[in-house]
Amino acid sequence: MGECVIGIVPTIKKGKSFGRWDTYTMVVTDTRSIFAQMTGDMLKQIIAEAQRRGKEEGKGFLARWGEQIKASLSFSQRYLDMSPEEALNETRSNFAIANSDIRSIKIRSKTQSSGNDDVDPTVTELTIEGAGKKLVYTVDSLSNETKDMLKNVFGGRVRRPTRVRHGDVQETRSSGPGPYDGLMPGRGLALVLCGFVRRHLFGEPQ
């Protein structure tokens, strides 16, 4: 039986300079974890396809706009229907780490300073160590299904926060042998759409 995709960790962001970031999907298989980057060209294709489909279905402009946002933010789901090799070879920047080489995955909540009087947003930080690497990503939120998937695959190597109080995070090591038995269930306004998606996925300035 060939390698199969167990689940995904969608829309994880790796920080770059000047407040920008690269956006990846972590594709977890039964033998390795593939980190697939979402490029600007991919984003353009997603928006164009959603626009074309909306026109064919006779949807109005605002409905098509909503579909484009939805398609952009759910981009990672496509990897559930791709083979691991297709995901790995999609772009030259993609890479993989054997699951057996991953020593720990730390999940913790982190408050990001907004630099003004607004409420500081809380994001989830994902730190993956193994194969001589320390990869740090942030994600707006991590569903319980995704956390359970990681625990099922990596077992006690996953550290999950038990509570957050005054910015402090207490972590606990999850139990279990990690048999990976849990599958992941999932001009004008047009310019506004593109700007919103680019800020969300790439951190590009307005």
Using alpha carbons only, how large is the chain's radius of gyration in Å?
Answer: 18
- 84-128 per-position pLDDT tens digit: 999 999 999 999 999 999 999 999 987 766 566 566 678 899 999
Strand partners, 160: 172
Phi, psi of 173 (to 5 degrees): -85, 130
Give percent helix, percent strand, percent coil of the chain, each to the nearest 5. Answer: 35, 35, 30
Least confident piece of the model among 15-29, 63-77, 158-172: 158-172
The pLDDT, as a whole number, for residue 118 is 61
Largest CA distance in the chain: 55
What is the C-alpha separation between 65 and 73, in angstroms, rounded? 13
Tell me the pLDDT band of 24, cut-offs 50, 70 and 90.
Answer: very high
Question: Which residue has better confidence, 34 or 46?
Answer: 34
Token reading at 148 = 């359970």
The torsion defined by the Cα of 138, 11, 89 and 127, in degrees rounded to 10, comes to: 20
Residues 6+ apart with CB under 8 A from 139: 9, 10, 11, 12, 13, 123, 124, 126
Residue 68 has pLDDT above 70, yes or no: no
